[in-house]
Amino acid sequence: MDFFDKHKATLDRAVAALHSRVFFANFPEHPAPAVYGETADADGQQKFKDMLGKKFESLQQPNPSGWVGQEESPYLQQPLGISYPTFTVPALIDEAQKAFHAWRKASIETRTGILLESLERVKTRFFEIAYATMHTTGQGYMMAFQASGPHAADRALEAIAAGYEELDRFPSSVLWDKPMGKFNVQLNKEWRAVPKGVSVVIGCSTFPTWNSVTGIYGSLVTGNAVIVKPHPGAILPIAIVVAEIQRVLQEQGYAPATCQLAVDTVDATITKELAEHPAVKLIDFTGNGIFGSYLESLPGKTVFTEKTGVNSVILDSVEDADKVAANLAFSLCLYSGQMCTAPQNFYIPAAGIKTPAGTLSVEDFGKKLAEQINGLVDNPKAGPFVLGAIQNKKTCERVADAAKIPGQVLLASRVFENPQFKQARVATPVLIAVDAAQKDIFGKELFGPIALLIKTKDTDASIALAQEMALHHGAISCGAYTTDPAVKEKIADAMSLAATPVSFNLTGGIYMNQHAAFSDFHVTGGNPAGNASFTNSEYVTRRFTWVGHREPVSK
């Protein structure tokens, strides 16, 4: 049985789920011994430890120009000591171009089978990837496992499924038979889905696999050669993925260079040189808005971006203010606000949030939110693991600066002790009350655990501000709390026009930060937070071109 047949049932379920958008997951998200094996966790941790301080030799990319590595663990605040092979941009492009032609000529089924098999191989390394993710991004263990392992693999499967479906959209050949009155014109026509060429996927430091695998698999399934350029601070998780893809390619007789890893350093980055190379036709990017907009402006490239945004929470009326505060406190604490879907701006009417027990002012609600945050942080069995560590020192500086914002500090950021990692770089959320007039403060992304409670004239003003932020600065998520159906529709409509998905009235174990594969589009592509969406049809169709040839039927 070949790989396509082996995985066909999974593929069919994935394609169906893409349309139905009901719950579907192919990779179990719980790191349970019953699912992954009794020793899977310990084995993965040991394998991770065995990689520390060594050369990463698993890639099939010969003749490196050097070896580099700058990763540091936010938990240990010391280097991982792993080094990766480096290559010049011309060498990377040359290898990609050589690998491209065999790969583009492989059948859709062959490519799809190889890629699905690679995900199964990656699955056997979820625990290694989890520890690699923890010690590069600072994510807590559970998030590191889920986001970099099963959730990323499901997003990759989603991209494969979307690509597979779109590649099959038009017939490979057809007889076109046009009645002309006295005779018919008959043409044999054929259509080819032609990949664009070399694809560069630029990773970020906080979600090194989750944000990259969609572009990698989306480009590969449609027949492009891929160069993966990870963030210098978070290489190992995606290096393991690339190594597994290369292994299956090699086994099946395709060049490992069909998917290359291109490592660089912060002080000698190759990203611009790669992106601007004329042979590079596709670019996927996750990261800051300025660089993303620069990439989008490059002529002759098809560019997919996820940039920055300002995520809002509109608070109008609630059934249970404590449950709401608990839910939002968790959203703020989860990975210390370092998620692109984390809330930042909380809009509260001057007259207060309506509750069954009366109204809650900004200060009242801030107090509840602060209590919930403190409760979570100070719970030693939960807090440190939910908060994780801070990936980048600059985020700590931003949190420190936030204390100087002209407003009322409702909760100061502080440190806490991680029971496993005493040296961890940590920061809890800072809560600051400001006024709706202070757009210079809240009208930009403040990446990290920083929350602003903004007093507005009324809920209409809150909606207008949330919409304005999304339209002008981008937004990837939005939370809203209202018990009034008319207000709910007003919010739903206003945020739709700003291309921002709204999570209404979340309480309990589901958070506005979470976007589920096969159901929630991640980023809509319709506001400045990014021009691409995981995974709509454009996300894959823009990676290839339909070209039709025709010839008269021989008489």
Nearer to a copy of itself, 404 or 555 (CB): 555
Q: In angstroms, give the least distance from the CB of 103 to a copy of itself.
A: 13
Nearer to a copy of itself, 206 or 531 (CB): 531
Q: In angstroms, give the least distance from the CB of 362 to a copy of itself.
A: 24
Other beta carbons less than 10 A from residue 280's beta carbon? 23
Rounded Cα distance between 477 and 515, Å, is 9
Q: In angstroms, give the least distance from the CB of 323 to a copy of itself.
A: 11
Q: In angstroms, give the least distance from the CB of 166 to a copy of itself.
A: 8
Nearer to a copy of itself, 208 or 528 (CB): 528
3-state secondary structure at position 173: strand
10 Å CB burial of residue 291 (0-12, 13-18, 19+) is middle
Nearer to a copy of itself, 279 or 412 (CB): 279
Radius of gyration from C-alpha coordinates of the chain:
25
Nearer to a copy of itself, 9 or 175 (CB): 175
Q: In angstroms, give the least distance from the CB of 51 to a copy of itself.
A: 32
User: Which amino acid would we find at residue 483?
Assistant: T
Nearer to a copy of itself, 143 or 238 (CB): 143
Nearer to a copy of itself, 63 or 181 (CB): 181
> 362's torsion region: left (phi>0), alpha (psi -120 to 50) or beta?
alpha
Residues that bind a copy of itself (CB under 8 A): 19-23, 30, 166, 169-171, 174-181, 185, 187, 189, 191-192, 194, 196, 293, 296-297, 299-300, 492, 495-497, 499-510, 516, 519-521, 524-526, 528, 533, 536-538, 541-542, 545-552
Nearer to a copy of itself, 30 or 414 (CB): 30
Best CA proximity match to 227, nearest among 112, 119, 90, 106: 90
* Site of tokens 């560590």: 389
Tokens, residue 501: 């998905």
- Give the sheet arrangement for strand 259-261, strand by strand: 259-261, 225-229, 198-202, 280-286, 302-306
User: Which amino acid would we find at residue 347?
Assistant: Y
* Site of tokens 């036709």: 281
Q: In angstroms, give the least distance from the CB of 11 to a copy of itself.
A: 19
Nearer to a copy of itself, 21 or 457 (CB): 21
On whether the CB atoms of residues 106 and 193 are closer than 8 A, the answer is no
Rounded Cα distance between 352 and 330, Å, is 22
Reported as half-sphere exposure (CB side, CA atoms, 13 A), residue 127 has a value of 19
User: Which amino acid would we find at residue 173?
Assistant: S
Tokens, residue 11: 């593929």
Q: In angstroms, give the least distance from the CB of 472 to a copy of itself.
A: 10
User: Which amino acid would we find at residue 432?
Assistant: I
Nearer to a copy of itself, 75 or 544 (CB): 544
Q: In angstroms, give the least distance from the CB of 530 to a copy of itself.
A: 11
Q: In angstroms, give the least distance from the CB of 320 to a copy of itself.
A: 12
Best CA proximity match to 234, nearest among 263, 267, 213: 263
User: Which amino acid would we find at residue 123?
Assistant: K
* Site of tokens 């950021």: 413
Q: In angstroms, give the least distance from the CB of 312 to a copy of itself.
A: 14
Tokens, residue 116: 């699905």
Reported as half-sphere exposure (CB side, CA atoms, 13 A), residue 428 has a value of 26
- The secondary structure element, H or E, covering residue 51 is helix 40-51
